[in-house]
Chains A and B, each alone.
Chain A
Amino acid sequence: MPEVMTAKTPGQAPGQAAATNTILDVKNLESWYGESHILHGMNFNVNAGEVVTLLGRNGAGKTTTLKSIMGIIGKRTGSVAFNGRELIRMTSDKIARLGIALCPEERGIFASLDVRENLLLPPVVRPGGLSLEQIFELFPNLKERLRSQGTKLSGGEQQMLAIARILRTGASFLMLDEPTEGLAPVIIQQIGHTIARLKKEGFTILLVEQNFRFASTVADRYYVVEHGKVIDGFANADLSANMDKLHTYLGV
């Protein structure tokens, strides 16, 4: 295994022994948008150093799951335990301070901030984040565009900015919501390399993807979400054995 820049899970070789150490444990999670009941008892977990992917059709509740973990859905019940701490009643700013970061589906780049301000916006919540140099090494494009208005970047650059800004904060648990949506294949590839690199450095990643061909290049395990529930789960090694089932689930 190549050398590791920052070990996010002390005392463990990233990706191997870590597999038994549950970092996020979601039990019977339900949430509501106003009157509509979206999640109907999600059950899944993520181990330290893993890349876990939530698969499912549009509207299955994948994005809502990430938002519920982050604490930005008004009403939620059940249990979300992060490193043993219960998050279900916490506000999102407190949850972020525990080292959880979200890269939202719509990317959330701020139009009234330039690229540099966007990049520096999320405060450092704990030590161990990437330095600006390391970030520019991962995303050289951003360095060229620091003075541009955030939303003037191309879609791919905005996605990189949205990922880059949460790597600085020291958060070790990243939630990426459809990072490849609407992007060119060459950029999807670059984002794939980035996720692989982050995993190697010990980050734990919860990924939401429609594109399971992309997911299969980075994920350790999958959960299939339908109607606000986890209906299946398997490891990446069993992906080909589960292909037929997966086609039925996703309708592709």
Chain B
Amino acid sequence: MQALYAQLLVGLINGSFYALLSLGLAVIFGMLNIINFAHGALYMMGAFCAYFLLNLGGINYWLALLLAPIIVGAFGMVLERTMLQWLAGLDHLYGLLLTFGLALIIQGVFQNFFGSSGLPYAIPEQLRGGMNLGFMFLPIYRGWVVIFSLVICLATWFLIERTRLGAYLRAATENPTLVRAFGINVPRMITLTYGLGVGLAALAGVLSAPINQVRPLMGENIIIVVFAVVVIGGMGSIMGSIITGFALGVIEGLTKYFYPEASNTVVFVLMVLVLLVKPTGLTGRAA
């Protein structure tokens, strides 16, 4: 039983990362119509940013949680202004190719300087140790990651679905020309939206640094699964990508307990099934 709970927890943690990353992808896809293949590389940059802040600037985890998404988000906005904005109106394929190329370049640069091995990032003092919940032992940092991710996901959902700024965003996703003709600076909004999606990826990177270490290729592995999550959940929905992210993490964890041989493929098997039954994804709208 202990092992089952442990795998459930691992599933929830992976689910947190899936949710944060697929949420960012959904936000970016909605507004820019770009499938952001650079997402994994930007997630990795978030972790490296926390590492540099700590080791070069002496800036601790808590501040990194705030600063890394801002710094990497700003880097994302530069990418959008200088490259992605020119793809507006073109086929998805161009955005996919460009961001895929960017991912290779970014990962290549980091690999060149840091190799492929992991750099350590210590769990912050306040979150060390664990708690005995009676039925299982919960490392505090892991519990923190799950809860904090959930809060960030719900806050993002609230921002988009319940605020005036979110209404601009939803409207511009539907009809950017008309929203601009109402006097809203839509190009600036698109840049900020890309920054928001990238910032979420960087935040996931900081959260993962103490668990998975900081590695140049850390984004390459996770992003493949995250794309499967996005396909299953459907690109169009904010809440859909959050729920699908957590749910698939848990399903993966359960598979590790009940049938470990399939744990690496279960997400892709589900993806195939969903594609056969509902090609737009579980919560997706038809394109």
Q: Within 8 Å CB of B134, what residues of A?
A: none
Q: Which of B61-69, B173-181, B213-221, B227-235 contacts A (4 or more CB under 8 A)?
A: B173-181
A72 vs B180: C-alpha distance in the bound complex, in angstroms?
9
Q: Within 8 Å CB of A125, what residues of B?
A: 183
A72 vs B186: C-alpha distance in the bound complex, in angstroms?
13
Residue ranges of A at the interface with B (Cβ–Cβ < 8 Å): 70-72, 91-93, 95-97, 101-102, 104, 108, 110-113, 117, 120-123, 125, 166, 169
B173 A93 Cβ-Cβ under 8 A: no
Q: With contacts A110-B170, A112-B171, A113-B171 known, is A96 near B182, CB below 8 A? A: yes
A93 B175 Cβ-Cβ under 8 A: no
Q: Within 8 Å CB of B185, what residues of A?
A: 93
Among candidates A110, A122, A166, A169, residue contacting B174 with C-beta atoms closer than 8 Å: A110
B interface, how many residues as a size bin?
Answer: 10 to 19
Q: Within 8 Å CB of A108, what residues of B?
A: 175, 178
Q: Within 8 Å CB of B180, what residues of A?
A: 72, 91-93, 96
B181 A111 Cβ-Cβ under 8 A: no
Describe A's contact surface by its main secondary structure: loop
A113 B170 Cβ-Cβ under 8 A: yes
B170 A96 Cβ-Cβ under 8 A: no
**6 A–B contact pairs at CB < 8 A?**
A72-B180, A93-B185, A121-B168, A121-B171, A121-B179, A169-B183
B184 A123 Cβ-Cβ under 8 A: yes
A92 B177 Cβ-Cβ under 8 A: yes
Considering only CB atoms, which chain A residue lies closest to B236 in the complex? A112
Q: Within 8 Å CB of B167, what residues of A?
A: 113, 117, 120-121
A93 B181 Cβ-Cβ under 8 A: yes
Among candidates A111, A117, A122, residue contacting B183 with C-beta atoms closer than 8 Å: A122
Minimal beta-carbon separation of A147 from chain B (angstroms): 13
Of the candidates B174, B182, B185, the one having the most CB atoms from chain A within 10 angstroms of its own CB is B182
Among candidates A71, A112, A169, residue contacting B182 with C-beta atoms closer than 8 Å: A169
Among candidates A70, A112, A117, A120, residue contacting B181 with C-beta atoms closer than 8 Å: A70
